[in-house]
Amino acid sequence: MTGPRQPDDSSATAGQSRPEGGYEHIDDDVCRSFQRSVEIVGKKWSAAVLLAAMRGARRFVDYRARIPGISNHLLSQRLRELEGHRLIERLVVPTTPVQITYRPTEQGASLMRVLHPLIEWSAKNEDMDT
C-alpha cells in the first residue's frame, strides 16, 4: 500500500496555474493598489519626469534638458499629474518674474528608491530593444 499522494507541480488543473515566487498571499485590494501605482509610473514619460526630478531637475527647462523628445505640453501635463498624485511638489517663488520650481516629494523619492533596481536591470539589459 502506498502513502498519500503528494501534490505534483507539473500537473496543473486545466485553466489553473500555481502561483510562483510566493505571490499567492497578496490579496485583491493590494493587487488593485499595485495596479494603480504601476499605471501612474507606467504612463508615457512619467517615470522619465520622476527620474529627472531625482537627478536634480527643478525648473521646467531642466526637465526639458534631461528628457529629450518630450513636448512642452506633455511635460506640463505629466508634472501636473505627478503633483496630483503627490509625487512631485510645485513651488511658486514670488519674484519678478514669478519662478516655478518642482521637486520630488518624499513619497516620490520613496517610489524612485523602490524603482532603482528596475533602473539597474534596464541598464544591464538595454539590448532588449534590438
pLDDT tens-digit series, residues 96-112:
999 999 999 999 999 99
Q: Are 41 and 73 in contact (CB under 8 A)?
A: no
pLDDT tens-digit series, residues 11-68:
444 555 666 777 778 888 888 888 988 999 899 999 999 999 999 999 999 999 999 9
Q: Name the phi and psi angles at 69, rounded to 5.
A: 95, -10
Q: Name the phi and psi angles at 10, rounded to 5.
A: -80, -15
Element (H, E) at 126: none
Element (H, E) at 87: none
pLDDT tens-digit series, residues 1-10:
554 444 444 4
